[in-house]
Structure 1
Amino acid sequence: MLRVATPLLSVANIDQSIAFYQCLGCNVVACTRDEASGEMLWAMLVNRDAIPGGDCEPIRLMLAAHGGVSHEERKMRPSFSAMVWYLECDDVPALFAQLGNGGYAPEPIETLEDGSLQFFVRDPDGYEIAVTGGGTISD
């Protein structure tokens, strides 16, 4: 049976994407570099809070450099499918502030019918991330 899902995102600038996902709380745990240039071609990221056997399950993400193909070019491919990645966190306002301070311009936080909080943000390649969970919005 399935146990783990790990998305692989094709990105234009892997260093910019790593910086964005580090702002979300992820660290690079493995990578592959081009032997000639030393440039990173692939990276595996895992959330910092994941502790084996702990309360926080690991969130894994792979990034692959794709040679500068833009999001618009990628949308024109027959295999393109839009994706929204939903991430849950304990303190939505704190993560919202962290992303805003990092220059990533998240959309405003909304309160959902069940009382949970949610906002959307796009990574440097235009992938949409929904952040949902708890926390308190201060006035």
Structure 2
Amino acid sequence: MEYRIGKRFSFDAAHHLDGLPAGHKCARVHGHTYTVEVVFAADRLDEPGFVTDFGDLAPFGAYLDEYFDHRDLNDVLDVPPTSELLAAHLAHWIIGNLEPLVQGRLESVRVSESPTSWAEFTPAGRAQ
């Protein structure tokens, strides 16, 4: 048996993508209201019956606010600022900085640039 929880965060940021065909709209600087959804899982629940207390995920929200909100992602990331690579970056941050402090393990990170599209990263060995 496995339990899962998810929490959504959001931030606003700009970016542009290099290496696209001439005239591609994503080559121009533009912005999104990003939604980031994290999923944590556990085989057993901690007291009083949590995978992870949602409040314990606050440091991740603070990280997004400090380093990503109202920023140019091209200046923040060391990789092209695609949703796929942003999801991977955020997953690695959670694994290194937040996961050791909370009950449960990160299953996936999903990043949406719009209400109709998303990219998801699942760390190796954690397939759903």
Determine if the TM-score, normalized by the shorter chain, exceeds 0.5.
no
Q: Give the TM-score of the pair, scaled to structure 2.
A: 0.24
- TM normalised by structure 1 equals 0.23
